[in-house]
């Protein structure tokens, strides 16, 4: 059965997640739909890109991925269907695709929307569903949409580099209030060049080693490690690091997630190399 992952900013209370699944299964009842999340931050592209990128890469090539976020930022005349390293990704032409992939997709086509149709989530899903089903039935991506499209490009949020430092942005705070910074292990090591380092955040908090695991330090102690996605994570063993960083606590974060997320976006962690 063809796998189809579903990622959105719809939340859990709406009829829309159900309607979207219904539309996809009407196109092809064989689709095996896998929920990734329906709680993407709609107005925080770096966070949405982080979540999508790191979920998608754990699936096998040939998987379909539908990413329904910020579909109506602009008045859309088309949706996008991209093929990249064997994955097929459907999303709006709002720049998110280049942030997810961190490059321009190998192939991308426009899926035109009918001029007379109202542009809503269910209608757009029906367009994606039809395209995915055509791919599943053996069509090439160039036969499914318009390859002449010039897509909207947004640059991925990358750390700033100095000669003896690298500065990352906090892109995600997880369920345990661990703080994820947009510095990957590869970027870190490349910039470090074997030197010793100090990870500095807040005003005067310093971590000077990378741990393997939370339990490498005693309970309540702060640590840094690289998470499952390979990103720098600042954590406290059995504690909530976001609080330590001076970010608002978990409860407030849930309440005002949109506002906080946009604030976090400007918060940074800097690593100095000796």
CB of 92 to a copy of itself, least distance (A): 12
Shortest distance, position 128 Cβ to a copy of itself, whole Å: 14
Minimum Å gap between C-beta 41 and a copy of itself is: 8
Buried b (16+ CB within 10 A) or exposed e, 202-228: eeeeebeebbeebeebeeeebbbbbbe
Q: Work out how close the CB of 251 gets to a copy of itself at its nearest, in angstroms, rounded to a whole number.
A: 3
Give 3-state DSSP helix, strand, coil % of the chain, rounded to 5: 30, 30, 40
> Binding mask 143-182 vs a copy of itself (x if CB under 8 A, - otherwise)?
-----------------------------x-xxx------
* Burial of 74 from C-beta contacts in 10 A (0-12 / 13-18 / 19+): exposed
- Collapsing DSSP to helix, strand or coil, 120 comes out as coil
**Among 4, 52, 82, 166, which residue sits at the site for a copy of itself (rule: CB under 8 A)?**
52
* DSSP element (H, E) containing 26: helix 16-27
Query: Which residues from 73-132 bind a copy of itself, rule CB under 8 A?
Result: 73-76, 118-123
Which 199-238 residues touch a copy of itself, going by CB under 8 A? 212-216, 225-229, 238
Shorter beta-carbon distance to a copy of itself: residue 142 or 256 = 256
Q: Which is nearer to a copy of itself, 137 or 251 (CB)?
A: 251
Rounded CA-CA distance 211/224 in Å is: 6
Q: Shortest Cβ distance from residue 24 to a copy of itself (Å)? A: 9
Q: Among 164, 163, 181, which residue's Cα sits nearest to residue 172?
A: 181
């Amino acid at each position: 059965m063809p796998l189809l992952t579903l990622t959105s900013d719809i939340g859990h209370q709406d009829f829309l997640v159900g309607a979207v699944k219904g539309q996809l299964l009407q196109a092809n009842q064989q689709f095996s739909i896998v929920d990734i999340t329906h709680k993407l931050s709609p107005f925080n592209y770096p966070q949405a890109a982080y979540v999508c990128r790191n979920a998608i890469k754990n699936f096998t090539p040939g998987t379909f991925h539908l990413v329904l976020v910020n579909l109506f930022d602009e008045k859309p005349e088309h949706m996008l269907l991209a093929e990249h390293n064997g994955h097929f990704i459907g999303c709006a032409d709002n720049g998110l695709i280049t942030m997810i992939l961190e490059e321009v997709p190998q192939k991308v086509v426009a899926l035109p929307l009918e001029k007379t149709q109202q542009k809503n989530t269910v209608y757009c899903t029906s367009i994606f569903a039809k395209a995915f089903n055509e791919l599943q039935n053996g069509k090439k991506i160039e036969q499914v949409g318009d390859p002449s499209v010039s897509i909207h490009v947004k640059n991925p949020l990358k750390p700033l580099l100095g000669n003896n430092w690298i500065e990352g942005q906090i892109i995600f705070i997880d369920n345990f209030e661990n703080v994820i910074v947009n510095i990957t292990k590869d970027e870190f090591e490349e910039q470090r060049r074997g030197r010793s380092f100090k990870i500095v955040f807040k005003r005067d908090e310093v971590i000077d080693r990378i741990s393997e695991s939370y339990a490498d330090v005693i309970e309540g102690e702060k640590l840094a490690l690289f998470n499952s996605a390979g990103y720098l994570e600042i954590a406290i063993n059995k504690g909530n690091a976001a609080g330590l960083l001076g970010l608002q606590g978990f409860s407030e974060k849930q309440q005002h997630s949109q506002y906080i997320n946009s604030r976090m976006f400007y918060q940074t962690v800097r690593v100095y190399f000796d």
